[in-house]
Amino acid sequence: MHNDWGAFMTALANHLLELIFAVLVAYAVSLRNRFTAWLNARTTAAQRETLHKLATEAAALAESMMGGGAGALKLDKAIKYVSDRAATLGIKVSEQSIRAAIEKAVLDYKAQIKGGTAVAKTEQ
């Protein structure tokens, strides 16, 4: 009988250890998923910040190179500049997002020139 009790306790201890291990693995997976989501969100925010900086550079470059007028041509040059620089930095972004960032940079610039306040920085 004593031998049966020892076998029962050994089996119970093994099952408890398996259960604890399973809970720890599930917790580790949960932490990994949360960390991955956090990292992806930070990367996206950093990429958006870089996109806005590139758009401001592109708008200033197009304006200084081409002066007044030729808006469509300036926009095309600015889009190409941002697209090329973003690709060099390993940032994948759509042309629509690039155009939106450039348009915002131009609006901010015009607001500053006219003595108004710049458009508030977009939410990230």
> Would residue 26 count as lying in a domain?
yes
Q: What is the DSSP letter of 69?
A: S
Q: Is residue 120 part of a domain?
A: no
Domain that holds residue 20: 2-113
Domain count, the chain: 1
Determine, yes or no, domain membership for 42: yes
Tell me if 122 is assigned to some domain: no
**pTM, 2 dp:** 0.61
In terms of Cα–Cα distance, which of 115, 114, 113, 81 is closest to 98?
81
Residue 17 lies in a domain: yes
* Chain mean pLDDT for the chain: 83
- Spatial contact of 50 and 100, defined as CB atoms under 8 Å apart: no
What is the per-residue pLDDT across 58-81, written as a single tens digit (0 to 9) for each?
Answer: 998 888 887 777 788 889 999 999
Q: Is residue 24 part of a domain?
A: yes
> In the Cβ-directed half-sphere of 44, how many Cα atoms lie within 13 Å?
8
- Distance, in Å, from the CA atom of 4 to the CA atom of 8, rounded to the nearest integer, reads 6
Model confidence over 75-91: pLDDT tens digits? 999 999 999 999 999 88
- 121, part of any domain: no
18-56 residue pLDDT tens: 999 999 998 888 888 887 787 667 668 888 889 999 999
Could you please report the per-residue DSSP string of 30-68?
HHHHHHHHHHHHHHHHHHHHHHHHHHHHHHHHHHHHH-S
Let me know if residue 118 belongs to a domain.
no
Would you say 64 and 37 are in contact if contact means Cβ atoms under 8 Å apart?
A: no
How would residue 117 be classed by pLDDT, with cut points 50, 70 and 90?
low
